[in-house]
Amino acid sequence: MLCSYGQLLILYSILTFHTTSTLSTDLEYKNPQIPRYHVPCHLGKLPGTWLESAPIGSQYQLLTWPGSNCQIKNYLAEATQSHEVKATENAGRDMSMTHNKTSILFLGDSVDRLMMEDVCALQSGIVLPRYNSTNLYDSFFYCYAPKAKLQLGYHSILGVHPTGPYMGAVQSPKTLQRIKTAVKEFGKVFAGPKQQLDAVVIASNFWDIGRICHPDVAGRDPKLCSGAVLPPWFLAEWMTNFTSVVNKVKEALGNHVHSTKLIYHTELKPRVMNYTSGEHSSSKGKLGRSQYVAQLNAAGRITANVLGMHEADFAVIAEGFTREQSLRDCHHPTEKLGLEFFNIYLNIIHQSEQPGSSISEGQAKN
């Protein structure tokens, strides 16, 4: 059937529109327009990827739009290099950490202690107790490395509960007293022109999971120690206690609270191991409960956000790894992952120095 002149015009218009649209779509696909709206640069929470061939400190990179300044930088390499570096060797490089030392206090569990030990070893230091004690739970530990650029201290807080009982039936000293002691001891060890802390890392999820089998705790709910999930009352109580811990840290920091970054981190999904012997076997066995870890990670994320803390989401960052690749035992991250996590802390500390970075109103307070 022959088309009329009017029908031909309509057909021509349709074909012309389709061709133009297809050409435009192809061009947009080849040259995508970068969104013009501003996205906050939350370095510890944004999605990323791993570059296995990159040096330590550069293996985890954020997935960002081309041209974005929101990216993880390798502060770890510069922070752990020799303290006596010739100025000519640093020409044209980011010098933000060359002249000032960075001070970080860990308040947490063995995940944080091992990270401090690994970083300390990287800068040729040795971890020492503040006093002559080998008790990992009651002493303040620090990295002794006089010429290093990183000042690191650690104190176990045994969990966020203010009075206990804690894992392994440990009763004292209480968590809030430990916080006050840790901040005070850090100032004594690293006394000098720059005594204030750059960051305090607060996280004790595994201590909090480990204590649930204590009779005084499990007795409040028959399913607490053996249930598949943690009950709502436990999570609500944990969030309240974690808030108290953070407020105590702020109080202990005094006038330096506004210049100190407060950082919370999630935990990796544990690898279930069969703890059938040992003094704390019942408590240790609970550390392999993935659902418990996931629940406290969620409670920690929302509480940290409400409190305006910075966050390093270890669980998300390492989710592409198998448990054998990411863990050195039941629940501790490998040294490799731990160093990348630590580099994220350094990025959070120096984020305000990065062009184009953005910190939310709540985070700016810390």
Helices (H) and strands (E) in the chain, counts: 13, 9
Higher pLDDT, 81 or 276: 81
Q: Cis peptide leading into 173, omega within 30 of 0? A: yes
Cα 14 to Cα 20, 27, 320, distances in angstroms? 10, 20, 47
Q: What's the fold here for domain 48-85+98-364?
A: Rossmann fold (3.40.50)
Contact (Cβ atoms closer than 8 angstroms) between residue 359 and residue 351:
yes
Cα 104 to Cα 107, 142, 184, distances in angstroms? 10, 10, 13
Q: What is the pLDDT of residues 195-220, one digit of tens each?
A: 689 999 999 988 888 888 888 888 88
Q: What is the pLDDT of residues 236-275, one digit of tens each?
A: 999 999 999 999 999 999 988 889 999 999 988 876 554 4
Stated as kind and residue range, the H or E segment containing 143 is: strand 141-144
The pTM of this model reads: 0.78
Cα 275 to Cα 35, 281, 333, distances in angstroms? 51, 5, 19
- Average pLDDT value for residue range 33-50: 70
Mean pLDDT of the chain: 77
Sorted by sequence, the CB contacts under 8 Å of residue 237 that are 6+ apart come out as none
Considering only CA atoms, which of 90, 127, 130, 92 is closest in space to residue 110? 127
DSSP states along 30-91:
HSPPPP-S-----TTTS-EEE-TTSPTTSSEEE---TT-------HHHHHTS-SS--GGGGT
Q: What is the pLDDT of residues 121-180, one digit of tens each?
A: 999 999 999 876 666 677 899 999 988 999 999 998 889 998 888 887 677 678 889 999
